[in-house]
Each structure stands twice: as C-alpha cells, then as structure tokens.
Structure 1
Amino acid sequence: MKTLFVSYRVSDLARSLAFYTALGYAELGRVELGGGARLVLLTFPGEPAASLELVHRPDAAPVDVGTGFDHLAIQVDALASTLDTLTAAGLRPGPLQYPGGPQGPKTSWLTDPDGYRIELVEWPPGHPDGITAADFA
C-alpha cells in the first residue's frame, strides 16, 4: 500500500487554485461532479502522479479546518529562494526556522486561503528525501 494524495475541501476554488499554483503545483485534471461541485487534482512538476486534490462542493456545509487535520508538509530544494519566490507571488510564508538546530532541516510555515497549514522543509545536504526510520535511530 501507499498514500496516493491528500484531499482538501476548499470554499473558493479559484482562490485556492491561485494559491496552490503560486506555491508551485500544476493542475493535472478535473472531475465535474454536477451541481457546480468538482475535484481538481494537482501535482508538482516532476511528480509521476497527483499529490493534492482540491474538493469544491458549493452546496455543502462550510469548510471546517478544525477537524483534527494538522498540516501538509512539502519538501523544497532551496528554502530561502522558495520563500523569496512565494513572497514575490503574493503569498506570506513565515520566517526561516531551524527546528532541529543549525545542522538539521530548515522549515517555514504558511497558511492557505481556507486556513490549512503548510510546512515547507529543506533537508540538510546528504539527507534522503522524506522522513525514514534512519531519522529515528
């Protein structure tokens, strides 16, 4: 088994698409569900498949991010330049942080238009992609 993608309900599809494309995602495809409801699948360039799904259901109850979801983590190659790019695109990422000390990963946080938190992570040189069992040895 493996995780396919994360799915977010969004209140304003155009606003959320503008945010996530500024973040670097590209639209892979759409599924029209009827009644104005739709799914939009997103991927980062170079990813083999969708990694994020935006679900817009205008006739459903309001979007509530307070359901136990904490955050989405996104790996970046160069966090400082990513923060510059996001700021130039009108997004408001937080400051560069070093939660594991100066030799550990670099992180920054931002929030999407519906209040979902996103953690941007740059691994130190030589660290494999993602978190593995080696990180807990």
Structure 2
Amino acid sequence: MKTLFVSYRVTDLDRSLGFYTALGYAELGRVDGGDGSRLVILKFPGEPAASLELVHRPLDGRVDVGSGVDHLAIQVDTLAAALERLTDAGLEPGPVQYPGGPHGPKTSWLTDPDGYRIELVEWPPGHPDGLTPADFS
C-alpha cells in the first residue's frame, strides 16, 4: 500500500487554487460533482502523480480546520529561495526555524486561505528525502 494524496475541503476553490499554484502546485485535472461541488487534483511539477486534492462543497458551508488536520509538510530544495519566491507571489511564510538544532532541518510555516498550516522543510546536506527510521534513532 501507499498514500495516494491528501484531500482538503476548501471554502473558496478559486482562492485556494490561487494559493496552491503560487506555492508551486500544478493542476492535473478537475471533476464537477454536480450541485456546485467541484474538486481539483494537483501535483508538484517534479512529482510523478497527484499529491493534493482540493474539494469544494458549497452546500456544506465554510470549512472548519479545527477538525483534526494538523498540517501538510512539503520538502523544498532551498528554503531561502522558496521563501523569496513565495513572498514575491504575495504569500506570507513565517521565519526560518531550526527544530532539530543548527545542524538539523530548516523549516518555515505558512497558512492557506482556509487556515490549513503548511510546513516547508529543507533537509540538511546528505539527508535522504523524507523522514526515515534514522531520524528517530
């Protein structure tokens, strides 16, 4: 088994799509669910398949992000370059943090239009992509 993608319900699909495309996602496809419901499937250009789905169900009302989702983590090659690009695109990433100390990963946080938190992560040189068992030894 493997995870296919994460799906977020959003209040305003166009606003959220603008945010996530500014973040770097590209649209893969759309589905019209009838009754005003729509969804958009996204992926980063370097990914082989979809990684995020935005779902808009207007009959369900505004999104309440306090329902258990904590955050989405996104790996970046160079955090400083990503923060500059995001700031230039009108997004508001937070300051650089070093949660594992000065030799660990660098992170920054931002929040999407519905309040979903996003953690941007730059691994230190030589670290494999993603979290591995070695990160917990």
TM-score (ref. length: structure 1): 0.98
**Aligned structure 1 segments of 4 or more residues deviating by more than 4 angstroms:** none
**What does residue 25 of structure 2 align with?**
25
Deviation at 1:59, TM superposition (A): 1.1
**What does residue 8 of structure 2 align with?**
8
Matches within 5 A, 1:40-119: 40-119=40-119
CA contact (8 A) 2:11 2:61 kept: no
Larger deviation, residues 54-63 vs 18-27: 54-63
**What does residue 39 of structure 2 align with?**
39
1:49-100 deviations in whole A, cap 9, x for unaligned? 1000000011113211001110000000000010000000000000011111
Q: Aligned partners of 2:96 and 2:132: how far apart in 1?
A: 23
Q: Is the partner of 1:39 in helix, strand or coil? A: strand
Q: Is the partner of 1:59 in helix, strand or coil? A: helix
1:80-133 deviations in whole A, cap 9, x for unaligned? 010000000000000011111110000000000000000000000000000011
How well do the aligned residues superpose, as a CA RMSD in angstroms? 0.6
Q: Aligned partners of 1:127 and 1:76: how far apart in 2?
A: 13
**What does residue 130 of structure 2 align with?**
130
Task: Name the structure with the higher helix share.
Answer: 2
Q: Aligned partners of 1:22 and 1:105: how far apart in 2?
A: 23
Q: Aligned partners of 2:35 and 2:67: how far apart in 1?
A: 25
* Residues paired across the two proteins, number: 137
Q: Aligned partners of 2:46 and 2:76: how far apart in 1?
A: 13
Extract unaligned runs of 5+ from structure 1: none
TM-score (ref. length: structure 2): 0.98
Q: Aligned partners of 2:53 and 2:105: how far apart in 1?
A: 27
